[in-house]
Amino acid sequence: MTKVIVASAWPYVNAVPHLGTILHLLSGDVMARYAKLKYGKENVIYVSGSDEHGTPIEIEARKRGVEPKSLTDQAHEYDKSIFDSWEIQFSNYSRTESQTHKEFVRSFLLELESYIKVEEEVIPYCSYDKIFLPDRFIKGTCPYCGFEDARGDQCDKCGRLLNPSSLVNPKCAICNKAPIFTKTKQWFFDLSSVEDKLRHWLESNDNLPKNVRTTALSWINEGLKPRSLTRDNKWGIPAPFKDAEEKTIYVWFEALLGYISSSIEYFAKQGNKDEWKSFWFGKDTKSYYFLGKDNIVFHAIILPAMLMASGKEYNLPNYIAATEYLLYEGQKFSKSRRIGIWADEAPRILPPEYWRFLLIRNRPEEKDMNFTWREAVRIINSELNDDIGNLVQRVLTLVDRFFNNAIPVLHKDKLNDTDKKVMEKIPEIYTKITEDYEKALLKQASENILELARLGNGYLNDRKPWDIIKASKEEAGNVIYIALLIIRVMALSLYPILPTSSQEIFNMLGLGLIEEYNWNWAIDSDLPSGNKIGKYKPLFNKLESDFDKKVEELLSRIREDVETQRPTLLK
């Protein structure tokens, strides 16, 4: 039995996700919903969680004189409520403070012993802020590409991993003063010793998108350096190594292991505590990871390297779906400059399903995408309303008007060439949609779903069943029957993206719960002719054509209100 692990990169809990961040969590939800129909609910897990350790939260807590966990408790709950409102359903949305996670990380890292070496490292300390400056807390010029705003762990421009001591002209990110460097012992994970295995895996895994493979291979060709696993911060998972009692684990090393610990936690809660192994060690497992391209290095190098070094046969990632950047009206999202829309604001502007559709239509699968309100109005009015909504309305109205709300009978002897061609086209498009979902190309799947809707609308315009019924009720019935076939396939394939609206279409068709069906059913079975179906109920509404001009004002009004409801850490 095929098992499917769906994972989205753990969002950092100290900021409300913006559209570009929630896109990864939404993509995972879409994938998991598809996979459940295709492979069976019990064979799919969707895991993620809050990444809650790290220096920013430690500093914030110190400033407020509270425990870091009291801040992350609230923020974690708040994020979960946002994901609920977006209809994002996880099997388990865990957190890095979970006991299961902490225990798993500590025991996992202890088993990497032969790959770990202890070395002196020069690390920056700010004598003004009185804090060690790990990772994002030190900035400077990238020694590889010259980018002036590189961080201590990674350069945002060229994506390479960095060390604080390799930055040119380093500065404390809090006070901008030059740090002093002191020596301390750190525990390093020796990436170079798995270099060959990694290269082989990257070259032989055909499911990796090109951007992931090329980027990761180019880093390997430059030679991988040991990465330090430990940090001198207090807020984090205590390092399990002997003599490292004062240290904590670098957030990325532990958060990546969260995919496994969250699976363990999920099945333990289900009372089926060994079942996670059939996903992580089974011979027939597919895994999908949803993330932004800035996280490629962690998922295509660090995570597989750790899994390889564990000496156990963990399944390595198959599909690393790393998207390019999403821009907002041509600019990068920026909290301080208030550029963008945040995930708790969005549902107050438009219904969540509109957002799900908009984000998947704007998913940057091959190149950066630019979210604009002008384009959003077009997508909602012409694609969601005209292509999809109208098709359902037209067909159900015809069934009501000419067939007394009963599904017509298919008279095979009365099919003409157009009818036959359309009937052949349905499974063809469905196959394309299935392939898109299999490859985690969700935007492409949405295009093929729209092709299906347009096929239906074009077919009705061509055949005009309201005219032909005057001459032949059988022929008109055939056209309507075929149009109903299209709607059924469209609703099922749209379900991962628009779960509620697709269910409404199923309800109108009298078909019951979508989740009870199998992905292949919609093309393998006939319609129950003679069965009564429901009347059409409106699915979507059009936006006013100048909505794009009014939205900023609307946004500034709701923004104040939303901000008062955010927990302390997220204000």
Residues binding Zn ion (CB under 5 A): 126, 128-129, 142, 144-145, 147, 155, 157-158, 172, 174-175
Cβ-contact 70, 44 below 8 angstroms:
no
Cβ-contact 209, 364 below 8 angstroms:
no
Q: Which of 38, 151 has the CB closer to Zn ion? A: 151
Helices (H), 439-519: 442-463, 465-468, 473-494, 499-508
Instruction: List the structure tokens of 150.
Output: 């590189």
Amino acid at the residue 28: G
Q: Which of 158, 349 has the CB closer to Zn ion? A: 158
Cβ-contact 252, 54 below 8 angstroms:
no
Q: Which of 111, 148 has the CB closer to Zn ion? A: 148
Distance in Å, CB of 137 to Zn ion, minimum: 8
Distance in Å, CB of 150 to Zn ion, minimum: 6
State the pairing for strand pair 369-371/326-328: parallel
Distance in Å, CB of 278 to Zn ion, minimum: 41
- The 10 Å Cβ neighbour count of residue 456 is 27
Distance in Å, CB of 422 to Zn ion, minimum: 53
Q: Which of 233, 385 has the CB closer to Zn ion? A: 233
Q: Which of 153, 353 has the CB closer to Zn ion? A: 153
Q: Which of 168, 175 has the CB closer to Zn ion? A: 175
Mapping DSSP to helix (H, G, I), strand (E, B) and coil, where does residue 345 land?
coil
Distance in Å, CB of 169 to Zn ion, minimum: 14
Distance in Å, CB of 297 to Zn ion, minimum: 12
Question: Angle, nearest 10°, between helix axes 473-494 and 417-438?
Answer: 10
Distance in Å, CB of 551 to Zn ion, minimum: 36
Distance in Å, CB of 247 to Zn ion, minimum: 21
Distance in Å, CB of 129 to Zn ion, minimum: 4
Q: Which of 108, 252 has the CB closer to Zn ion? A: 252
Q: Which of 172, 450 has the CB closer to Zn ion? A: 172
Residues paired with residue 328 on neighbouring β-strands, in sequence order: 331, 371
Distance in Å, CB of 300 to Zn ion, minimum: 18
Strand order in the sheet with 168-172: 150-151, 138-141, 168-172
Q: How far apart are CA 323 and CA 522, in angstroms?
A: 30
Residues in the chain: 571
Distance in Å, CB of 23 to Zn ion, minimum: 25
Distance in Å, CB of 125 to Zn ion, minimum: 9
Q: Which of 158, 244 has the CB closer to Zn ion? A: 158
Q: Which of 118, 174 has the CB closer to Zn ion? A: 174
Mapping DSSP to helix (H, G, I), strand (E, B) and coil, where does residue 122 land?
strand
DSSP structure string for 389-449 = IHHHHHHHHHHHHHHTTBPPPP-GGG--HHHHHHHHHHHHHHHHHHHHHHTT-HHHHHHHH
Phi-psi region of 330 (alpha: psi -120 to 50; beta: other; left: phi over 0): left
Cite the beta strand spans of 173-246 per DSSP E: 180-189, 227-228, 230-231
Q: Which of 122, 180 has the CB closer to Zn ion? A: 180
Residue appearing with tokens 């394939």: 493
Instruction: List the structure tokens of 373.
Output: 């309100």
Q: Which of 292, 567 has the CB closer to Zn ion? A: 292
Cβ-contact 151, 141 below 8 angstroms:
no
Q: How far apart are CA 569 and CA 483, in angstroms?
A: 52
- Report the 3 state secondary structure along 45-112: EEEEEEECCCHHHHHHHHHHCCCHHHHHHHHHHHHHHHHHHCCCCCCEEEECCCHHHHHHHHHHHHCC
